[in-house]
Structure 1
Amino acid sequence: MEKSYKQYLAQISTLIFDVDGVLTNGMVTVMPDGQLVRQMNIKDGYALKTAVDCGLRICIISGGKNEGVRTRLKNLGIQDIYLGAHDKIEQYHELSDMYGLQTENVLYMGDDIPDVPVMKLVGLPCCPNDAAPEIQQISKYISNKNGGEGCVRDIIEQVLRVQGKWDGNFDAKYD
């Protein structure tokens, strides 16, 4: 019998997220100079900062190259940020080697086909509610929130609650 996704939450120590379609809604505004502007959910930011402060390893692997995204994530305390990653499995193996990651301790949230190879390797593959059908098929947890609309907060809060680290009395600065 397949384990419920909730049975994986207690042992998660590393959470890896895609950016576009997970931390954002996947939409970009094209500025006159060609710059692509994204929006991120402040509640996802709070959850990311809280997770870092609670000792969880947060990593980002994204095909996008926006340095504004890197700045935002670094300001939340995230150290492992891979942008411009077209073959995400390479960055996953680098992280795994660097930290000695164990499959059962890793959660990955992605939303589209480039996320499939990594999602097949981790203990808890997750996705937003509006992820591609192929991603939903391989996910052990599908958030009820869409990308950029709180799906990251949703899964982080669940992990922290199960691990007894979410008590509502946080002093984290996240903006």
Structure 2
Amino acid sequence: MFLQKLKEISTFIFDVDGVLTNGDILATDSGEFLRTFNIKDGYALQLAVKKGYQVCIISGGSGAAMQKRFDGLGIKHVHLGVSDKVKVYEDFLHQHQITDDEVLYMGDDIPDYKVMKRVGLPTCPADAVEEIKSISMYISPQKGGRTAVRDVIEKVLRVQEKWFDENPSAADSGK
């Protein structure tokens, strides 16, 4: 069943803090919040975009640096500062004529729960909270911000025979 679900995925949706980052936020004296992103996750994200998958970010967090990171990876659907993830999810699906079954969502905490109950393939990093692990069809052996995102993207692209990039650029994941 899991293998079949991987074959049906056309869309990836990710939370940010605890999924694309390790969940730590460094607060500076100027009031900025700093996060770190994994370069290997970045490579997989830009490859998914390049291969024609819909990639969407839905996060309660926000910041110009986050937007710049996602812009550099070619991710066009970035929703930051979101309080109602279900509404954003429903609007995104309606706008792009996508069904729940086509969506792989990776979340790590309670704000992701309601969306994850709806998607075709709910996934989470190894260090997600127990409530999220209990509804996930796949728990990555990797932690958030430590290639959990690459893990799920790579699985989908390999099953669909789209993983290898004939012309990779060393700059693709570092933008």
Match of 1:109 in 2: 106
Matched, 1:128 2:125: yes
Superposition deviation, residue 103 in structure 1 = 1.4
| Residues 40 and 173, structure 2, Cα contact 8 Å, conserved in 1 | no
| Residues 47 and 165, structure 2, Cα contact 8 Å, conserved in 1 | no
User: Residue type of the partner of 1:85?
Assistant: V
Match of residue 21, structure 1, among 8, 18, 21: 18
Q: Which runs of 5+ in 2 are unaligned?
A: none
Structure 2 Cα separation of the partners of residues 87 and 37 of structure 1: 23
Structure 2 Cα separation of the partners of residues 94 and 170 of structure 1: 34
Aligned partner of residue 19 in structure 2, secondary structure: coil
Match of 1:174 in 2: 173
Superposition deviation, residue 167 in structure 1 = 2.3
Aligned partner of residue 10 in structure 1, secondary structure: helix
Q: Which runs of 5+ in 1 are unaligned?
A: none
Structure 2 Cα separation of the partners of residues 138 and 120 of structure 1: 7
What pairs with 1:7-156 in structure 2 (closer than 5 Å)? 7-156=4-153
After superposition, what is the alpha-carbon deviation per residue over 1:79-115, rounded to whole angstroms, capped at 9, x for unaligned? 0000001110010011011011111111100000000
After superposition, what is the alpha-carbon deviation per residue over 1:25-76, rounded to whole angstroms, capped at 9, x for unaligned? 0001111111110000000000000000011110000000112101100110
Aligned partner of residue 108 in structure 1, secondary structure: strand
Structure 2 Cα separation of the partners of residues 22 and 155 of structure 1: 11
Aligned partner of residue 171 in structure 1, secondary structure: coil
Structure 2 Cα separation of the partners of residues 60 and 168 of structure 1: 23
Aligned partner of residue 50 in structure 1, secondary structure: helix
After superposition, what is the alpha-carbon deviation per residue over 1:112-154, rounded to whole angstroms, capped at 9, x for unaligned? 0000010011000000000000000000000000000000000
Structure 1 Cα separation of the partners of residues 125 and 166 of structure 2: 27
Percent sequence identity over aligned pairs = 50
Structure 2 Cα separation of the partners of residues 135 and 64 of structure 1: 19
Matched, 1:163 2:160: yes
Count of residue pairs brought into register by the alignment: 172
CA RMSD of the aligned region, Å? 1.0
Structure 1 Cα separation of the partners of residues 167 and 121 of structure 2: 26
